A and B are shown apart, each in its own frame.
Chain A
């Protein structure tokens, strides 16, 4: 096990900067997931930790050592690649034992290490097969087995579930999480799938455009997104975001849009009338209500029952909004529906900076995380 510390890490490809000074501290045995849209630099950052990309500036520490100039094999890491990167001409056992073979380990040691990893992952019946004779999930498991055999201080995963179908992805998610709980080794995992991040991570690092947007526990990110990007990226369906400004109401301030839609502000909102804001509320924090109790009235546009809940797209003034309701039936497209918003779940962001209005909420969560 090892701590990982990234200090103002920068990366440029030629004159094109892709990482703009990223600082992250990862604790011993922690499962940290780097998440963000394509091109945000998360895979590049992982490859820099692995030693597959050079560091343009800043320091990467694994344990007590700065590893910037160390070769991958000297970093005591193992990596699981998106396309598995299994050697096609070697059997499963040979793939798993390859690092030990290179290190000149005796056969008994290789067999024992492969046997142990195979037992953990249920690979024993497949040891004599070649990668082409395996399914996607089995290959993924062999790639993990190869990493386990190395007994590294740090596991790195580069979008390992991207090539699997949805059902297998869910299953493998659980298996990787179980693996972490069993091995208790530091793991850094890259994905663009926020569901993967939310379900597996101890902490999530949300990245965008080569910068860290927020670091925190999954629920912290969900409940108190630091800015508009995190608010819209975390959560599915994503948060309803409506632009407008603070206006004077009957005794208490209101949020009002240019098309006249008026929405309640949370208690204790400290924003002067006229301040331009983005009003955010997650679909699951919107509930159908009788007209008398409703904060707003919308017109149903689309009803999507998913079984456990129903997602309803509605027109709220000139805005499209989504609600996730447990009640059924909700109504038909074209019908009016009253909506009540959960006051303590309303998020406000500054329209110009995109930052969360509640300054008391930290941009990063957890003592070890910080964004540069």
Chain B
């Protein structure tokens, strides 16, 4: 080891012969490991591959195949129409609204939900009296079933008997019918989404914050950092793996949003709160157009996979 050093100026005894030619050794080690673990692979890999093929690969392939047919879901798909379903989809105003809404949900999640979650996490991650209670309160909406949350907020937004109506009349305003107004309904949905999911991200951030060594903050105190400087120079960089994971969950979750919107607005009024999945359900399943629905599914799948793999490859490659 090149530890032996002195304080003599100009000496450079601290360079260790670190990590010399480690890659080949690791590769051969990896091969040896595979050799040793092949019984485990033989035992555990085939069931996983079989299940994954049955329930993921095959349905994806089927959806791709059905998307080329005009098919109601009954009988065999025999009316081949090529890419017509995709053309119809591209021309659909409702689909473009759904796409826009998904984009809006992602933007609000990143711009509002995650900062709010991070701010609250920094507040309740300290060991102060009552912090645990607040953590629980903030996390409760996430525990609630999506459908139940949608129903609850539908009652809250109700223009005749809801909480919003009561507050509006108490303050002397005209009662708003939030979910019936196509210009503001999506914002009402966004508010529910932020309320429902910020607790999940907050918990991720709390876990991340608690893994940061407290002595780093003490060192920063001694170095003269203010609270904001500690946040930007210590907390944010060290929390970045958690933030990247949280963004990943937020993006993928936003693209899959369905359960909460159906009881809340059903995608209405006038398709103004459709997301890609509610659009798929409404136009593909309830209208018995399984071929068209499959085309929506294929587009959704391509978007999800592109985003997920692209994000992981670019932003999470070191995590």
Contact = CB atoms under 8 A, between A and B. Distances in A.
Contacts of A52: 218, 221-222
Given A89-B237, A122-B8, A171-B3, A133 B222 contact: no
Contacts of B10: 119
Interface stretch (A21-29, A72-80, A329-337): A72-80
Given A99-B223, A102-B223, A179-B7, A124 B218 contact: no
A38 B216 CA distance: 23
A353 interface: no
Contacts of B219: 79, 81, 85-87, 146
B26 to A, nearest CB: 17
A86 B220 CA distance: 10
Interface residues of B, number: 32
Interface in B3-23: 3-16, 18
A156 B215 CA distance: 14
A291 interface: no
Contacts of A81: 215, 218-219
B40 to A, nearest CB: 31
A123 B9 CA distance: 10
A162 interface: no
A86 B14 CA distance: 17
Interface bracket on A: 35 or more
A126 B18 CA distance: 12
Interface centre among B10, B11, B220, B229 (most CB of A within 10 A): B220
Contacts of A146: 219, 223
B1 interface: yes
Interface stretch (A106-114, A134-142, A243-251, A360-368): A134-142
B225 interface: yes
A215 interface: no
Interface centre among B3, B18, B223, B225 (most CB of A within 10 A): B223
Nearest to A150: B223
Contacts, number: 97
Interface centre among B7, B18, B218 (most CB of A within 10 A): B7
Interface string A94-122: 00001100110000000000000001111
Given A50-B222, A133-B18, A135-B1, A125 B12 contact: yes
B222 A98 contact: no
Given A85-B215, A133-B18, A135-B3, A122 B12 contact: yes
A83 B213 contact: yes
Nearest to B225: A102
A16 interface: no
A288 interface: no
A85 B7 contact: no
A77 B223 CA distance: 9
A122 B223 contact: no
Contacts of B233: 87, 98, 102
A85 B213 CA distance: 8
B224 A121 contact: no
B176 to A, nearest CB: 48
A51 interface: yes
Contact of A122 (B13, B221, B222, B238): B13
A182 B9 CA distance: 12
A71 interface: yes
A123 B14 CA distance: 7
30 contacts: A52-B221, A72-B218, A72-B221, A72-B222, A79-B219, A82-B215, A85-B213, A85-B215, A85-B218, A85-B219, A86-B219, A87-B220, A87-B237, A98-B223, A99-B222, A102-B229, A120-B7, A122-B5, A122-B8, A122-B9, A122-B11, A125-B15, A135-B1, A135-B3, A141-B14, A146-B223, A175-B5, A175-B7, A178-B7, A179-B7
A-B CB proximity, top 6 nearest: A73-B224, A99-B223, A85-B219, A85-B215, A89-B237, A125-B12
Given A99-B222, A138-B16, 14 more contacts: A50-B222, A51-B222, A81-B215, A82-B215, A83-B213, A83-B215, A98-B223, A102-B223, A102-B229, A102-B233, A122-B7, A125-B12, A135-B16, A138-B14
